């Protein structure tokens, strides 16, 4: 099938996405599967790579995400923020024998905070490179571990990871709220009530127990508990980014229901959500990095 020039991989923890790319950065084909790093033993990566090349052609590969972590194939050490695309390209791990390049992640270490990310930096820098977002911007990348990323002059200067999605999943499946959070989560009165309760809450754990108490005492319908709990968590997450109550413009790298929820939260807390196509941003970022590495 090889009409392409290279393969680009977004190789995450649970999922993997492959893109067949033309030399000018156009995407020719794509596929997604559940062969994330948790599903692949270290000794299995050569076979995984061979299978991808059997499908798309004997092409060089550039990959980002957890494949470069200590749980992946080969570790590509983090690059400390502040960093731009050129800094990431200079630190890329190139495996010449496999014609396989791994983009490093980004680390943050200050007197008070430590944080890391892998893969999200490609989307952020790609959005800037492609003109999908300005060089000075605040990005939000909702997911299991939501990322807030700040860029200045096209460089990642700071970021924060919020375990919002993972906390909701843990509350839904374990503990006192398990069995109460099976309802749908969508923007509506219950979700908005949760946003108001969670935004700026210094007593987040108290607010979460109120989900149960509210249902037991008839204050809230059982079918609304999940939306209310999600609102509390997302409200606390988004609210943490507002200095003096003003969050400003947020470039939202997401789609689907989760993007809708975060857009609603950002607007409810006085900000403006600008949606950015996360797939287009990743492709722009990975192609820019490949050009810099080449």
The topology under which CATH files domain 162-276 is Nucleotidyltransferase; domain 5 (3.30.420)
| Identical fold between 6-122 and 162-276 | yes
**Confidence label for 223 from pLDDT (cuts 50, 70 and 90):** very high
* C-beta of residue 106 within 8 angstroms of C-beta of residue 157: no
Mean pLDDT of all residues in 35-39: 94
Whether the predicted model's global pTM rises above the 0.85 cut: yes
Choose among 206, 177, 194: nearest CA to 237.
194
Q: What pLDDT score does 3 carry? A: 77
Which CATH number describes the domain made up of 6-122? 3.30.420.300
Residues 69 and 38: their CA atoms lie apart, in Å, by 11
Give the start-to-end residue ranges of the domains of the chain. 6-122, 162-276
List, for residues 147-177, the tens digit of each pLDDT value: 999 999 999 999 999 999 999 999 999 999 9
Amino acid 243: pLDDT? 52
Over residues 45-101, the pLDDT tens digits come to 999 999 999 999 999 999 999 999 999 999 999 999 999 999 999 999 999 889 999
Inform me whether the pLDDT recorded for 2 exceeds 60: no
The DSSP bridge pattern shows strands 100-102 and 61-65 to be parallel
CA 164 centroid distance within chain = 12
Tokens representing 290? 């490949």
């Amino acid at each position: 099938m090889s009409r392409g020039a290279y393969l680009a991989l977004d190789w995450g923890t649970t999922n993997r996405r492959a893109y067949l790319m033309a030399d000018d950065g156009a995407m020719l084909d794509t596929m997604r599967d559940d062969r994330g790093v948790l599903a692949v033993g270290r000794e299995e990566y050569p076979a995984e790579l061979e299978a991808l090349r059997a499908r798309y052609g004997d092409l060089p590969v550039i990959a980002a995400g957890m494949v470069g972590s200590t749980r992946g194939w080969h570790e590509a050490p983090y690059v400390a923020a502040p960093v731009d695309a050129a800094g990431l390209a200079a630190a890329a791990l190139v495996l010449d024998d496999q014609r396989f390049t791994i983009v490093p992640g980004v680390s943050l270490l200050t007197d008070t905070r430590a944080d890391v990310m892998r893969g999200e930096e490609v989307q952020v820098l790609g959005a800037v490179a492609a003109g999908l977002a300005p060089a000075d911007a605040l990005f939000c990348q909702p997911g299991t571990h939501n990322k807030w990323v700040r860029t200045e002059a096209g460089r990642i200067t700071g970021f924060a990871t919020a375990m919002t999605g993972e906390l909701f999943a843990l509350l839904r499946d374990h503990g006192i709220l398990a069995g109460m959070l099976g309802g749908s989560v969508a923007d509506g009165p219950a979700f908005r009530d949760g946003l108001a309760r969670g935004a700026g809450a210094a007593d987040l754990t108290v607010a979460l127990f109120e989900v149960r108490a509210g249902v037991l005492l008839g204050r809230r319908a059982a079918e609304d508990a999940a939306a209310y709990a999600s609102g509390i968590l997302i409200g606390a997450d988004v609210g943490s980014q507002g200095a003096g109550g003003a969050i400003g413009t947020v470039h939202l790298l997401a789609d689907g229901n989760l993007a809708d929820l975060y857009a609603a939260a950002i607007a409810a807390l006085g900000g403006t959500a600008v949606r950015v196509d996360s797939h287009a941003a990743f492709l722009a970022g990975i192609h820019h990095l490949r050009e810099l590495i080449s």
